[in-house]
Amino acid sequence: MEKVRTLVIGAGITGLATAAALAERGDDDYLVLEADSAIGGYCKTVKKAGFVWDYSGHFFHFKHPDIEAWLRARMQGQDVRNIEKKSFIEFKGQSIDFPFQKNIHQLPQADFIDCLYDLYFANAAKGEAPAAGMTGFKGMLYARFGKSIAEKFLIPYNEKLYATDLGTLDSDAMGRFFPHADLTDIIRNMKVANNATYNAHFTYPAGGAIEYVNALASAVRSDAIRLGEAVIGIDIERKVATTTKGEIQFERFVSSAPFNRLLEMARVPHDPATYSWNKVLVFNLGFDRKGRKDVHWVYYPDRSTCFYRVGFYDNIFDADRLSLYVEIGYARDAVVDAVAMREQVLADLKKNGVITDHELVAEHSVVMDPAYVHITQRSLGEHARIKGELAARGVYPVGRYGGWTYCSIEDNIVEARALVKTFA
Ligand SMILES: Cc1cc2nc3c(=O)[nH]c(=O)nc-3n(C[C@H](O)[C@H](O)[C@H](O)COP(=O)(O)OP(=O)(O)OC[C@H]3O[C@@H](n4cnc5c(N)ncnc54)[C@H](O)[C@@H]3O)c2cc1C
């Protein structure tokens, strides 16, 4: 039987970062198995008719200069832009600066007064017991921001995205990615704008997100990445993985596959209802000429518009043709009819003034499934418990989906490097 010290599942950011970290410390006894026919996972890039698209907008927000420098050293010749983000919310035909909760003063007067009034009294009621049914993430939104900010943006937008009852999500389900603001921040923002969020700046390569993936892969032996081979079972006692092509004995098993899939493959007893998620249908659309300038993405809370967000690739490199990604959230079991939705997307782009008489010249679509996992008290508890048990037996679930979490690409690299450091 084939034997390897470290078997890595998935050649996405996390799997490649794990292999690269092993290689860098001179541990060459590793193998990366990738079910797909290409590396990259969700950071793949699609190129069509001169347009460069990812699987939805994939922008890079580095907090660790050493990681950015390591990647950039392996991206010689790439035009990588550092961009100050411009993002807005479409509200009743007006463009409001993001985040909504810090820019209520830009709303029509009646909406502004509603938001300010409810915010004030929510703040005054701090510490009181929440009203019945006001639990989890939804309860946090009402308690912190009041009814109007919650109901005019935060609830409808996040329901379109997560496609679930927000009351079931953990109150910290979005972690550092949620732009918090208290009453003082909001009032101050009315005169001195400070809309900084975790992604106030982002970097993006001309060749698309795959360039960062290629940078990671360049540190991995090419014969140690096997494409088109999926793991379908794991015997944790014997330390043997069954793949679509045979059996492999391992000492350590690092898996970036979705956690619930790992539990099934390893036949770990669990309650499948613990793990829920949404899926996102992404349309990449290229048009014959330019659209709106000075915008990178726009949020759409209005429930009568099918998408929750539209991004403008053409404004990153000042291209002269409109190049969009459009994101639509679905419940995990919902049927995705991409053909029908394509028509709805084009109609809603027109309705919202994103396109007028533009001609569509190239397109691509993909369903990301899972896209956003539903982080609940139960998923957090169960994941932590089972992860501990697996780690004691040399099995390490990692990455956004192995970790059943909300995180960035950089977080994936940080996690992979930290894990490898723990290996003897
Ligand atoms: C809509 C959306 C937008 C995002 N935008 C951003 C952004 O702008 N910036 C940012 O930093 N992050 C963003 N992210 C997060 C980012 O995509 C992830 O953090 C990152 O791609 C996760 O990489 P990964 O390697 O952990 O997982 P994946 O990319 O899912 O890679 C896992 C790999 O494992 C393979 N695999 C799975 N099961 C098996 C198996 N049994 N056998 C073999 N191979 C297997 C899969 O084919 C896949 O290639 C976004 C995510 C979504 C959903």
Q: Is the pLDDT of residue 129 over 80?
A: no
Structure-block tokens of residue 422: 């723990």
Question: How large is the greatest C-alpha to C-alpha distance in the chain, in angstroms?
Answer: 72
Interval between CA 36 and ligand 1 midpoint (Å): 12
**CA-based nearest residue to 244, from 259, 225, 254, 231:** 231
pLDDT per residue over 329-363, tens digit each? 999 999 999 999 999 999 999 999 999 999 999 99
Residue 197 is predicted with a pLDDT of 64
For the CA of 411, the closest atom of ligand 1 is: 19
Single-letter amino acid, residue 105: H
Interval between CA 115 and ligand 1 midpoint (Å): 37
Q: Is the pLDDT of residue 196 over 80?
A: no
Give yes or no for a contact between 279 and 371, defined as CB atoms under 8 angstroms apart. yes
**CA-based nearest residue to 16, from 370, 399, 424, 408:** 399
**CA-based nearest residue to 297, from 89, 130, 54, 75:** 89
Q: Is the pLDDT of residue 276 over 70?
A: yes
Interval between CA 184 and ligand 1 midpoint (Å): 37
Interval between CA 424 and ligand 1 midpoint (Å): 27
Q: What is the pTM of this model?
A: 0.95
Using most ligand atoms within 8 A of CB, pick from 14, 33, 42, 332 the residue to mutate for ligand 1.
42
**CA-based nearest residue to 279, from 208, 344, 367:** 367
Four-point Cα dihedral 313, 286, 283, 262, nearest 10: -60
Residue 124 is predicted with a pLDDT of 85
Band (pLDDT 50/70/90 cuts) for residue 311 is very high
| Domains recognised in the chain with CATH numbers | 2-81+205-272+374-422 (3.40.50.720), 87-189 (1.10.3110), 278-368 (3.30.9.10)
Atom 23 of ligand 1: nearest residue by CA position = 13
The partner residues of 31 in beta bridges, in order of sequence, read 7
For the CA of 371, the closest atom of ligand 1 is: 53
Mean pLDDT of 7-17: 98
pLDDT per residue over 366-379, tens digit each? 999 999 999 999 99
Q: How many CA atoms lie within 13 A of 36 on its CB side?
A: 11
Residue 424 is predicted with a pLDDT of 86
Interval between CA 366 and ligand 1 midpoint (Å): 13
Interval between CA 308 and ligand 1 midpoint (Å): 20
User: Alpha-carbon distance 261 to 258, whole Å?
Assistant: 5
How is 115-179 classified by DSSP, letter by letter? HHHHHHHHHHTTTSPPPTT--HHHHHHHHHHHHHHIIIIIHHHHHHHH-S-GGGS-TTTTGGGS-
Which residues have CB under 6 Å of ligand 1?
Answer: 9-15, 33-36, 41-43, 56-60, 230-231, 256-257, 280, 368, 371, 399-401, 407-409, 412
Residue 215 is predicted with a pLDDT of 98
For the CA of 39, the closest atom of ligand 1 is: 49
Interval between CA 50 and ligand 1 midpoint (Å): 25
